[in-house]
């Protein structure tokens, strides 16, 4: 904290000719402004700068290559494979995971008794850190000694290769999300459902709208803003997922689960190709930004 406050005279506060400068807000805001400038704005500019160089971490910045890093990765088949895998995993996790907390909250809202208890119980899976979850599932997926092949074998299925099978590994990476997708999401949706005014329901009841239809035609549309917000967060999370894939497969087998975030880590820290890695990461930033804007546009048009 000390070095920041000593710089207070340099930083431009809320200085306007006609105002007296009030130093208290400047002091209050200064630490935050400094860390945001250093750890966000400087870094994103620096990312652009690095991506334009054949970056040498020992003797920075190395040779200036312009946009070559971008053209270079666009030409590799590994990149396109990773991009495809990223989107396949994203779509799979939408299909397997995203709807789960919505369904949980919807049906939870129909249960009157001991509701709070269920909400607490729904939080339990989220106490397991992602890395620990990945370890647990990797062990359960073990083709020879794992729990799944044993249990499925009992009912005459399998044995499956799970993470070791290139055709199955993406699904196996996404599946744990189905089991542990409760968490804060349920609380958010639940709060949104409960805040829908009861009058709407009463009038719908009088109009002869049954409980099932009510759920689908009245509750869902009323919480669609929350769903959108959650989807945007979910999307950037799923497109940049790293921890569980890294722990479970490290991109294998045969690059079947290699995603862009893994490629970013790999090209920087195992191939020392920092320029390329920065270019890749900016590319993902732009992709996600565009997708987010599109979603908000669509939402606006609809309403």
Is residue 104 within the footprint of other proteins (CB under 8 A)?
yes
Stretch that binds other proteins, among 73-81, 87-95, 158-166, 174-182 (CB under 8 A): 174-182
**Rounded to whole angstroms, how far apart are CA atoms 126 and 104?**
15
CB of 256 closer than 8 Å to CB of 166:
yes
Q: Are 50 and 278 in contact (CB under 8 A)?
A: yes
What minimum distance in Å lies between the beta carbon of 303 and other proteins?
12
Is residue 171 near other proteins by the rule CB under 8 A? Answer: no
Q: Does 36 bind other proteins (CB under 8 A)?
A: yes
Q: Which is nearer to other proteins, 7 or 22 (CB)?
A: 22
- Among residues 8, 21, 43, 95, the one that binds other proteins under rule CB under 8 A: 43
Quick one: 256 or 278, whose CB is closer to other proteins?
A: 278
- CA atoms of 171 and 74, how far apart (whole Å): 26
End-to-end C-alpha distance for the chain, whole angstroms: 46
Of the candidates 127, 113, 114, the residue with the CA atom closest to the CA atom of residue 183: 127
Q: Kindly tell me which residue out of 138, 170, 258, 266 binds other proteins, with binding defined by CB under 8 A.
A: 138
Please, which of residues 179-198 interact with other proteins by CB under 8 A?
Answer: 179-180, 182, 184, 187-188, 191-192, 195-196
Strands (E), the chain: 53-54, 63-64
Partners of 171 in the beta sheet? none
* Shortest Å distance, C-beta 163 to other proteins: 11
């Amino acid at each position: 904290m000390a070095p920041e406050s000593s710089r207070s005279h340099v930083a431009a506060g809320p200085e306007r000719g006609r105002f007296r400068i009030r130093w208290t807000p400047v002091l209050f805001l200064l630490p935050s402004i400094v860390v945001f400038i250093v750890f966000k704005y400087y870094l994103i500019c620096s990312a652009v700068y690095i991506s334009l160089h054949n970056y040498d971490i020992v003797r920075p910045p190395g040779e200036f290559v312009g946009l070559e890093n971008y053209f270079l990765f666009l030409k590799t088949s590994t990149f396109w494979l990773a991009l495809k895998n990223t989107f396949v995993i994203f779509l799979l996790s939408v299909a397997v995971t995203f709807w789960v907390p919505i369904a949980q909250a919807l049906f939870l809202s129909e249960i009157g008794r001991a509701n709070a208890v269920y909400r607490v119980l729904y939080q339990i899976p989220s106490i397991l850190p992602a890395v620990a979850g990945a370890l647990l599932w990797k062990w359960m997926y073990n083709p020879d000694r794992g729990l799944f092949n044993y249990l499925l074998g009992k009912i005459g299925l399998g044995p499956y290769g799970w993470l070791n099978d290139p055709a199955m590994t993406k699904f196996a990476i996404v599946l744990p999300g189905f089991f542990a997708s409760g968490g804060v999401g349920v609380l958010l949706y639940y709060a949104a459902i409960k805040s829908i005014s009861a009058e709407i329901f009463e009038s719908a009841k009088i109009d002869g709208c049954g409980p099932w239809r009510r759920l689908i035609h009245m509750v869902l549309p009323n919480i669609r803003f929350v769903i959108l917000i959650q989807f945007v967060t979910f999307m950037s999370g799923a497109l940049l997922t790293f921890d569980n894939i890294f722990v479970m497969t490290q991109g294998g087998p045969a690059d079947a689960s290699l995603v862009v975030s893994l490629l970013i880590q790999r090209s920087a820290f195992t191939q020392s190709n920092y320029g390329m890695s920065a270019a890749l990461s900016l590319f993902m930033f732009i992709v996600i930004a565009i997708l987010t804007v599109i979603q908000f546009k669509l939402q606006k048009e609809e309403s």
